[in-house]
Structure 1
Amino acid sequence: MSLFDTIRNTIVPVHKEGYPFVIAFFLAAVVLGWLFKPLFWIGLILTLWCAYFFRDPERATPQDDDLVISPADGRVSSIQMVTPPEELQLGAEPMLRVSIFMNVFDAHINRAPVRGRILRSVYREGQFVNAELDKASADNERNSLVIDGPRGELGVVQIAGLVARRIVCWSESGQLLDAGERFGLIRFGSRLDIYLPAGAEPRVSIGQRSVGGETVIAEYGSSKGPIISRRS
Structure 2
Amino acid sequence: MKFAPEGIPFIAVALIVSAVAAFFTFTANRHIVFYLVLMLFCIDITAFMFYFFRDPERVIPQGENIIVSPADGKVIVVSEVFENTVLNDNVRKLSIFMSPLNVHVNRIPYTGTVVNVKRNAGNFFKAFMDEASLTNENVTTTVETDRGTMLIKQIAGSVARRAVCRAAPGDRLLTGDRFGIIKFSSRVDLFLPLSAQIIVKTGDMVRAGETIVATWTQEKER
**Structure 1 partner of 2:159:** 163
Q: Which residue of 2 aligns with 1:194?
A: 190
Structure 1 residue 65, shift from structure 2 partner: 2.6
Gaps of 5+ in 1: 1-11, 223-232
Identity within the alignment, %: 36
By how many angstroms is 1:163 displaced?
Answer: 0.3
Q: Does 1:24 align with 2:20?
A: no
What is the CA distance between 1:69 and its match in structure 2? 0.5
Show the counterpart of 1:103. Answer: 99
Name the residue aligned to 1:8. Answer: none
Residue 202 of structure 2 corresponds to which residue in structure 1? 206
Shift of 1:94: 2.4
> In structure 2, which of residues 88, 99, 108 is the aligned counterpart of residue 112 of structure 1?
108
Partners of 1:73 and 1:26 in 2: how far apart? 27
Larger radius of gyration: 2
Distance across 1 between alignment mates of 2:81 and 2:194: 12
Find out whether 1:90 has 2:87 as its counterpart: yes
Q: Distance in 2 between matches of 1:23 and 1:37?
A: 21
1:64 Cα shift? Answer: 2.2
The letter of the residue matching 2:67 is V
Match in the other structure for 2:30: none
Distance 1:32 1:164 in 2: 27
Equivalent position amino acid for 2:8 in 1: Y
Q: CA RMSD in A?
A: 1.3
Aligned counterparts of 1:166 and 1:31: Cα–Cα separation in 2: 28
Partners of 1:101 and 1:62 in 2: CA distance: 22
Residue 48 of structure 1 corresponds to which residue in structure 2?
Answer: 47
Q: Please give the alpha-carbon distance, in whole angstroms, between the structure 1 residues aligned to 2:139 and 2:211.
A: 22
Post-superposition CA distance 1:38-79 (Å, at most 9, x none): 211111111111111000110111232311100111100110
Whole-angstrom distance in 1 between the partners of 2:210 and 2:146: 18
| Cα distance between partner residues in 2 of 1:164 and 1:16 | 17
Partner of 1:219: 215
- Report the CA distance between 1:85 and its aligned residue: 4.5
* Counterparts of 1:85 and 1:40, CA distance in 2: 51
Question: Equivalent residue for 1:5?
Answer: none
The corresponding residue for 1:226 is none
Where structure 2 has 5 or more consecutive residues not aligned to the other structure, the ranges are 26-34
